[in-house]
Amino acid sequence: MRRILRFIIIILLLAFIVIQFFQPEKNNEGVSSNHIFNQVEVPENIQTLLTTSCLDCHSNQTGYWWYNHIAPVSWMVADHISEGKSELNFSEWGTMDIFEKITILEEICQEAERKSMPLKSYRAIHPKAKLNDEQISELCDWTTKLAEELLADAAGD
């Protein structure tokens, strides 16, 4: 029995070592001219909030921690980033049309008010990413104001 247990432990350890060689591609393309911070005047408090709570999964620049380099955690993180960028990528803000931007701004506020973003799993590891009621209010005020400006620009064209 001890021999079988030892064999299983060795196999699991070897498997863990082998999977470390299969790391996903990192999400670090750098800041582009299409990034929201280069397209829109974003107040400093909102920039900080977006950087702390959103950009790791919703841009082309992820800040990786030590645990992001250990499989299978690295695979789960890569999946979250891929999924997040498919919903919203702040690095591609300049390529979106005005009505898509307005819709996204409304969704940002809704997700923050529902406290469904950032994800619970992200907040558990990054407690500073959790948005308090004041931050949610500031974020919603900003998204509403920016959406109104974009709508006014669209009406003026």
- Whether residue 19 contacts residue 82, with contact meaning beta carbons closer than 8 Å, is answered with no
Q: 129 near 99, Cβ under 8 Å? A: no
Query: Is the separation of the CB atoms in 41 and 35 below 8 Å?
Result: no
pTM confidence score? 0.79
Q: What is the pLDDT along the chain (157 residues), one digit of tens a residue?
A: 788 888 888 888 888 888 788 887 876 776 678 889 888 888 999 999 998 888 888 988 878 778 778 888 788 878 888 888 888 899 999 899 888 999 999 999 999 999 888 888 888 888 898 999 999 999 999 999 999 888 887 776 5
